[in-house]
Amino acid sequence: MIQRPRGTRDFTPQDMETRRYLEGNFRSTAETYGFREIATPIFEHTELFTLKSGPNIIDEMYAFEDKGGRQIALRPELTAPAMRFFVNDLTNYPRPLKLYYFGQCFRYERPQSGRYREFFQFGAELIGAPNPESDAEVIGLAAALVRGSGLANYNIRIGHIGVLRGRLAAAGVGPEKAPAILQKLDKKMYEEARPIMRDAGMMGEDIEEVIRITQLIGPVDLLQDFPGEASDYLREVFQVLRDYGFTNVQVDLGVVRGLDYYTGIVFEVDAPNLGAEKQVCGGGSYSLTELFGGEKVFSTGFAIGFDRILLALDKEGLNAPEKRLDAYVIPTSEGMRHRAFMITAALRAEGVRTDVDLMRRNVGKNFKYADAARARFVVVVGDKEAAEGAVTVRDLSTGEQRVVPIEELPSVVKA
């Protein structure tokens, strides 16, 4: 047999019901917040991603040369394509421009629990309004998506990259050396960060103070020990989130997302029941448009690991509402087959989820199949009932059955 490629998955009908339910939930929530959907190609020019994340990302991508000699890559994430689309075609749209997207991404990495080479992201971007209320709007949407998914155990941690950048600058670290330090601090790789900080001219006390700051998590009150514009900005974001009714948020000054294009607010959402790989969402404010040939525009966005949210929900024992077949139509004889098809068509035209015997089984086997398919009702099309312009309807959950006139059948099944 030909197996599926490593790091990919097949999804059963039950899997897809769960996935479509969550996807629909996410779309509805995003649109409630005034965000509108976009879609971008699954493959892009490789340069789009190396400009954003550096040349080393090629090792993590499905990158190749196409038949025209162009360097192409399957998209490893969706932010860069969204901003490329904005620069190409959307710059004249009214701002703030609120966009969301959902789709497959691809990374060539070692598959493990909750991590695949083909995976799915849901994300959003708010373009063109660099202020606390815009950041709070985006964080609020991310929080609403996670809460609306049904996940009970999660944490939202918000920081501001300006706090650590300010401390590094005060210790004599120039802007050209700060990114390498922030990248290590973001991943809590302190033993690797210390020599880089020493090489940048930092003293021992300053180094340990910076590390201590990255370990601070708590209520917004802890910002009083860090006066400055970044802390004031964070307070305003928290105030708007409180206005929106979100209280499950913490300050985490160790969230720095050490990439150059992040400009201010950064945040992450964790699901502790996932263990060490607990992050399900990450985002922040950034500026990428100038890298892609556009004017400098500030944006705030996030990406949710769709598969990781599903894994966290599964660990909490939550399942999507089951989509059941409303009616299964059974002809009792060869002469009733075409009448059964017409009744099936009439039910489907009324929006009733309906199936019909296609295997020419006997009535007993058809009832067993209808029960296995978890149909709510069986509609029996027999000669006697046909003469009366009716059918027999059995409720499979109660066993009750009755004769129903054809014209009343859709309303009976819907009820």
Q: Write down which residue in 315, 340, 372 finishes a domain.
A: 315
**362, part of any domain:** yes
CA dihedral 377, 382, 387, 393 (to 10 degrees): -10
301: nearest Cα among 121, 110, 150, 170: 121
Residue 76: which CATH number? 3.30.930.10
Answer yes or no: do 140 and 58 share one domain.
Answer: yes
- Indicate whether 205 belongs to any domain: yes
Res 245: pLDDT = 94
Percent of the chain with pLDDT over 70: 99
Residue finishing a domain among 286, 315, 344:
315
Q: What is the pTM of this model?
A: 0.90
291 and 372 assigned to the same domain:
no
Confidence check: pLDDT of 28 > 90: yes
pLDDT of residue 259: 62
Write down the pLDDT at residue 72. 98
Q: What are phi and psi of 201, to 5 degrees?
A: 95, 10
pLDDT score for 320: 84
Q: Are residues 35 and 161 in the same domain?
A: yes
pLDDT in tens, 122-167: 999 999 878 999 999 999 999 999 999 999 999 999 999 888 888 8
Q: Given strand 249-252, what is the order of strands in its sheet? A: 36-37, 97-106, 118-127, 299-305, 279-286, 262-270, 155-160, 249-252, 217-218
For residue 112 the two structure tokens come to 């493990």
CA 163 – CA 288 distance, rounded (Å): 21
Q: How far apart are CA 164 and CA 214, in angstroms?
A: 8
- What pLDDT, on the 0 to 100 scale, is given for residue 258? 56
The reported pLDDT for the residue numbered 345 is 97
The mean pLDDT of 348-370, rounded to a whole number, is 96
Angstrom CA distances, 268 to 265, 305, 385, stand at 11, 11, 62
177 and 235 together in one domain: yes
If one compares 394 and 128, the residue with the highest pLDDT of the two is 394
Residue 3 domain flag: no
Residue 2 within any structural domain of the chain? no
Residues 112 and 245 occupy one common structural domain:
yes
Considering the domain architecture, whether residues 268 and 346 belong to the same structural domain is answered as no
Which structural domain range is residue 346 located in? 327-414
Pairing of strands 155-160, 262-270: antiparallel
Q: How far apart are CA 144 and CA 49, in angstroms?
A: 29
d(CA 269, CA 392): 53
pLDDT at res. 61: 95
Residue 373, pLDDT score: 93
Q: Examine the pLDDT at 319 and tell me if it is beyond 90.
A: no
Q: Note the pLDDT of residue 241.
A: 96
DSSP class of 290: G
**241 in a structural domain:** yes
CA distances from 194 to 118, 187, 260 (A): 36, 13, 20
Q: What is the token pair recorded at 276?
A: 């060490």
Residues 353 and 293 both lie in one domain: no
* Structural domain ending residue among the three candidates 294, 315, 336: 315
Residue 275: per-residue pLDDT: 86
What is the structure's pLDDT at 257?
67
Residues 207 and 346 in one domain: no
Question: Which of 54, 99, 47 has its CA nearest to residue 75?
Answer: 47
Within this chain, do residues 211 and 135 fall inside the same structural domain, yes or no? Answer: yes
Q: 61 and 188: one domain?
A: yes
145 and 122 in contact (C-beta within 8 Å)? yes
Domain count for the chain, please give it.
2
Q: What is the pLDDT of residue 234?
A: 94
Neighbouring C-alpha atoms within 13 Å toward the C-beta of 282:
14
- Beta-carbon count within 10 A of 212 CB: 11
For residue 207, being part of any structural domain is answered with yes
Lowest mean pLDDT among 203-217, 224-238, 245-259: 245-259
Residue 4 lies in a domain: no
Of 55-59, 344-348, 392-396, 407-411, the least confident: 55-59
More confident residue, 393 or 261: 393
3-state secondary structure of 285: strand
- Residues 309, 337: one domain? no
Residues 248-306 have pLDDT tens digits of 899 998 887 656 678 889 999 999 999 888 999 999 999 999 989 999 999 999 999 99
Q: CA 125, CA 288: separation in Å to the nearest integer?
A: 12
The confidence score (pLDDT) of residue 175 equals: 80
Phi, psi of 85 (to 5 degrees): -60, -40
Arithmetic mean of pLDDT over the chain: 93
Give which of 311, 302, 217, 319 is closest to 262, Cα–Cα: 302
- Residue 8 maps to a domain: no
CATH for 343: 3.40.50.800
Please state which of the ranges 138-152, 225-239, 332-346, 395-409 shows the lowest mean pLDDT.
225-239
**Same-domain status, 230 and 311:** yes
